[in-house]
Structure 1
Amino acid sequence: MARRVAIRDHLAGVARAALGAEHRLTGVSRLRGGSKKGVYRLTFDDDSTAIAYIWDDAENYWPTAQIDEVDNHANPFSHASGIDLFEAAHRRLDALGIRTPRIHLADRSRSHYPADIAVVEDVPGATLEVLLQRDQHGAKVPLSRLADALGAMQRHQGPGFGKIALLDNGGISQGHSCEQVVLDRALDDLAEAASRDTRIAGGRDRLEDMVRGLAATVRPRSEYGLIHGELGPDHVLVDRHGHPVLIDIEGLMFFDIEWEHAFLRLRFGEHYRWLHKSGLDEQRLTFYTLAMRLSLVAGPLRLLDGDFPDRDAMMGIAEHNLQQALAFLR
């Protein structure tokens, strides 16, 4: 797929619509890390800045089959990208008092740019990931506040499980339970990973038995908390007042909170102690952790089928999680 790179002339009209003609756009730079949407920093003549999100197939590094799943919101794990998901998630978090970048403009008209686009606040400060590397003592306040935010989200109960945009419109998710949805996804991820790596292929039967066995230990549940779904420290900005600011929120959904905590444990490592929640279902958490490891093998390998630029980092994610998945067998 030919890549479209937004340049200043392309975004001048968007910038005027978002912030007014008194702010003259002087620079546009693409930010690293996004795989599903284009993320650009807009710079203005008064040294102010903003961030543009562009949902465009030409900005999406995932294979076409994954992109085609965008509108299938009934699948909780379908490709979480799009302005509808973004706006629904933003509204819900804002109502709960959870900090996210303020929206200056959300536009579907294609009159300013040939794709859905949003312009949001550029939050000054580093990500929580960078802060943890540079100043662990200084990260204590943001981590504590992030724990409070997660607590508020997880206490917020939904009428069912699934993506916020779907449920807000009266929709119903596929699958009769969270654990069944995770099981189906884990088996698909296992099959795909086995087709791409001989080490997974060699242990596929035992891994499948383990996945099914762990799923069978999970007791039914009918209460679902609000989760981000992919909340690593790179998806948390820290503003100048030490408040955490959640980004990449399109995957926001009601689901088992153990799914969130399985990811938090993986991504925060030793710092997870700040985010730990008592009373989690350990059997569900163990099952979800293995499922997530398999997803973090199959997903990165699938992404590398395309032209994603940061290939070494993505291969490193796949390799680490492959080893961790195989460790379940030992």
Structure 2
Amino acid sequence: MSERCPIELSELTACMREALGNGFTAVKAKRLHGGAQKTVYLVQAQNGFKLMFYIWDLKQNYFEEEVAANYANGEQGSFGAELFRRNNQYLIEQGVRTPALYAMDSSQEKYPFDFALVEYVSGGDLLPYLEHPSEALRDQVFGKCNELLRSLHQIKRSSWGKVWHPADRYSKPCETGIYDNAIIQLDFLAGEVSRVAQQHERLLDVLEGMRCTIVPRAEYSLIHSELGPDHILLNESLEPYFIDIEGAEFFDLEYEHSFLQFRFPNYEQYLSRDDLDEQRLRFYRFCHHISCASGGLKLLQRGFPDRQLAMEIHASNLAQTLSYT
């Protein structure tokens, strides 16, 4: 995939001036790597101002096939400018910090993709702080992250789904879709990895057994859905902001925390809570490992540029998946 921004600096300048005023001229657009679904550029103006430029182009998405399948099934998944716009607006209305949306164009009149101008948060993500030598600084950073996380999770309602979905949109339990996807991903892994093929039936039995332990629920929390240390940015005052918010929705809180458990090495110290359903936690964590093992392998097969990262995602989650047999 090309490093060059598909929109000329002159056009970026016009977008910036329309959104922010005439005092801005785009002089540089640098592509940032790491994401698998949308393309991101850091844009710098002549006056030192910076912003993020997001592009949602399905043809540039490493999970194009899966997104298309979601669309075919009437589901929106976690890809798209409209998801970003609605979730951004809702989070800000609820007082949950996320970078501001300056402007968005989803008309595709001039370009074959949707794009947006988004606030630049300058302090980087959480990765450097996971093992920072200063305990006081770690306490400060992750204490604030826990506060932000709880401000998100305290938003609740009696039905699950996207923030704008009507209460009666779904009649099936929320874990059904996760279970169905886990079966699809196990089938894929079994066709690609001999160790999974050998344990395929056993893994399916374990998955079904876990699902059967889940009892009905009538309250759901607003969650991010894929929250790792690289999905929280800090400003210069070390205040955290959620990014990559397209997948945010009302869902089981355990879905979020089961992901946090293996994405944050310091989870127990800073982010854990004691009011979670252990059966749901175990089920969702197994499903996460299956999905990540499959996703990492697909990234490798589809030319993701950071092959080491893709291999680490695949290998570590494959080992965890097989540990359930």
TM-score norm. by structure 2 comes to 0.92
Q: Does structure 1 conserve the Cα–Cα contact (< 8 Å) formed by 2:5 and 2:29?
A: no
Gaps of 5+ in 1: none
1:263: how far off?
0.4
Q: Does structure 2 conserve the Cα–Cα contact (< 8 Å) formed by 1:107 and 1:116?
A: yes
Give the Cα separation in 2 of the matches to 1:46 and 1:260.
40
Residues 184-223 of structure 1: pairs in structure 2 closer than 5 A: 184-223=180-219
Residues 17-36 of structure 1: pairs in structure 2 closer than 5 A: 17-36=18-37
With over 3 angstroms needed to count, the CA separation of the structure-2 counterparts of 1:94 and 1:74, relative to structure 1, is farther
Q: Does structure 2 conserve the Cα–Cα contact (< 8 Å) formed by 1:27 and 1:44?
A: yes
Give the Cα separation in 2 of the matches to 1:284 and 1:108.
37
Task: Tell me the alpha carbon deviations over residues 110-138 of structure 1, each in whole angstroms, 9 at most, x when there is no partner.
Answer: 45654211111111112112222445532
Q: Is 1:163 paired with 2:136?
A: no
Q: Is 1:270 paired with 2:266?
A: yes
Residues 216-255 of structure 1: pairs in structure 2 closer than 5 A: 216-255=212-251
With over 3 angstroms needed to count, the CA separation of the structure-2 counterparts of 1:112 and 1:273, relative to structure 1, is farther
Q: Secondary structure at the match of 2:222?
A: strand
Q: Partner letter of residue 45 of structure 1?
A: Q
| 1:66 matched residue in structure 2 | 66
Q: Secondary structure at the match of 1:162?
A: coil
Give the Cα separation in 2 of the matches to 1:194 and 1:16.
52
1:185: how far off?
1.5
With over 3 angstroms needed to count, the CA separation of the structure-2 counterparts of 1:164 and 1:215, relative to structure 1, is same
| 2:179 matched residue in structure 1 | 183
Q: Partner letter of residue 248 of structure 2?
A: L
Give the Cα separation in 2 of the matches to 1:5 and 1:125.
24
Q: Does structure 1 conserve the Cα–Cα contact (< 8 Å) formed by 2:159 and 2:168?
A: no
Give the Cα separation in 2 of the matches to 1:121 and 1:231.
19
Q: Partner letter of residue 181 of structure 1?
A: G
| 1:257 matched residue in structure 2 | 253
| 2:14 matched residue in structure 1 | 13
- If asked which structure has higher relative contact order (CA below 8 Å, sep 6+), I would say 1
| 1:93 matched residue in structure 2 | 91
1:3: how far off?
8.6
Q: Is 1:109 paired with 2:107?
A: yes
1:269: how far off?
1.8
1:158: how far off?
2.4
Task: Tell me the alpha carbon deviations over residues 262-281 of structure 1, each in whole angstroms, 9 at most, x when there is no partner.
Answer: 00001002344211111110
Give the Cα separation in 2 of the matches to 1:267 and 1:46.
38
- Structure 1, 66-75 or 131-140: larger mean CA deviation: 66-75
1:237: how far off?
0.4
Give the Cα separation in 1 of the matches to 2:114 and 2:283.
37
Q: Secondary structure at the match of 2:157?
A: coil
Gaps of 5+ in 2: none
| 1:55 matched residue in structure 2 | 56
Q: Does structure 2 conserve the Cα–Cα contact (< 8 Å) formed by 1:11 and 1:113?
A: no
| 2:313 matched residue in structure 1 | 317
With over 3 angstroms needed to count, the CA separation of the structure-2 counterparts of 1:191 and 1:322, relative to structure 1, is same
- Structure 1, 1-10 or 100-109: larger mean CA deviation: 1-10
With over 3 angstroms needed to count, the CA separation of the structure-2 counterparts of 1:3 and 1:27, relative to structure 1, is closer
Give the Cα separation in 2 of the matches to 1:160 and 1:82.
23
Q: Secondary structure at the match of 1:163?
A: coil
With over 3 angstroms needed to count, the CA separation of the structure-2 counterparts of 1:244 and 1:207, relative to structure 1, is same
Give the Cα separation in 1 of the matches to 2:12 and 2:67.
24
| 2:138 matched residue in structure 1 | 139
Q: Partner letter of residue 143 of structure 2?
A: S
With over 3 angstroms needed to count, the CA separation of the structure-2 counterparts of 1:211 and 1:70, relative to structure 1, is closer
Task: Tell me the alpha carbon deviations over residues 25-59 of structure 1, each in whole angstroms, 9 at most, x when there is no partner.
Answer: 11000011121111000011111110011111243
Give the Cα separation in 1 of the matches to 2:313 and 2:131.
19
Q: Does structure 2 conserve the Cα–Cα contact (< 8 Å) formed by 1:4 and 1:58?
A: no
What is the RMSD computed on CA atoms of the aligned residues? 2.2
TM-score norm. by structure 1 comes to 0.90
Q: Partner letter of residue 183 of structure 1?
A: Y
1:192: how far off?
1.1
With over 3 angstroms needed to count, the CA separation of the structure-2 counterparts of 1:215 and 1:136, relative to structure 1, is farther
Q: Partner letter of residue 138 of structure 2?
A: A
1:73: how far off?
8.4
Q: Is 1:172 paired with 2:169?
A: yes
